[in-house]
Amino acid sequence: MSMHRIIQDATQTLVDHVDELTQLDQAIGDGDHGLNMKRGAQAIQARLADMQGASLNENLKTMGMTCVSTIGGSSGPVFGTLLMTLGKELPAQPTVADFAVALRAGIDALTRLGKAQVGQKTLLDVLDPVQKVLAQGGDDVLARVRKCAIDSAAATAHMEAGRGRSSFLGERALGHVDPGSRSMALIVDVVCDGLITGGGS
């Protein structure tokens, strides 16, 4: 599967899940996460033709800048910083090990940006375990990454929020999945599926 098809599918899954993401954010946030992610996803889709022929690194940087400029709230800088960091850190032909190293750099960048830590009910609670699975490598690593992402997002329902608007809810945030974590899991799921289908490793 081509890189552009994966980008198309990853952004489309955010559009398709806008209602779910909105409902998750209405429970513990200000309710705009779904629409914000849809807006950013559609903005990236609108640039796909211009991104044709560009390298993975260039496309990651373009998508990151698009997220920053089009996604409202904290999600724009968060997803934008992650994508731009990956674009800076990854080599032209990355391996699974390269993705693990680049993702660790992305996690560090997000920690500096938002002062958040793993365990505070943010998308770091998906990215950190996913990074560890990537670093382990081995057989069926992409399938294990997919499962890890989905399971880790679901596990945020059992966490009290330590950052963002939901942190003011305390124990009332329990039982609710973090919307940013769910968005991240949806993206990871589709990307891994595309790489598996396309024969990537």
Write the pLDDT tens digit of every residue in 131-188. 999 999 999 999 999 999 999 999 999 887 655 544 444 555 567 899 999 999 999 9
Residue 105 CB neighbours (<10 A): 16
Please tell me whether residue 170 adopts helix, strand or coil conformation.
helix
Residue 103 per-residue DSSP state = H
Residues in the chain, total: 201
CB 139 within 8 A of CB 147: no
90-121 pLDDT, tens digit each:
998 999 999 999 999 999 999 999 888 898 89
DSSP E strands in the chain: the ranges are none
Q: Which domain holds residue 189?
A: 3-197
Residues contacting 121, CB < 8 A, separation 6+: 156, 159, 160, 161, 162, 163, 166, 167, 173, 178, 181
Domain tally, the chain: 1
Residue whose entry in the numeric block shows the structure tokens 């960091």: 85
* Mean pLDDT taken over the chain: 90
CATH number of domain containing 116: 1.25.40.340
Contact of 107 with 128, CB cutoff 8 Å: yes
HSE-CB of 138 using CA atoms within 13 angstroms = 7
38-42, 52-56, 60-64: least confident range: 52-56
Closest CA to 148 of 103, 87, 91: 103
Q: Cα–Cα distances in Å, from 91 out to 37, 137, 155, 173? A: 27, 18, 32, 39
Taking CA atoms, 124 is separated from 44, 109, 156, in Å, by 23, 11, 10
Q: How many CB atoms lie within 10 A of CB 103?
A: 22
Handedness of CA 174, 175, 178, 179 (dihedral sign): negative
How many separate helices (H) and strands (E) can be counted in the chain? Answer: 10, 0
pLDDT, residue 57, reads 95
| pLDDT class of 34 with cuts at 50, 70, 90 | very high
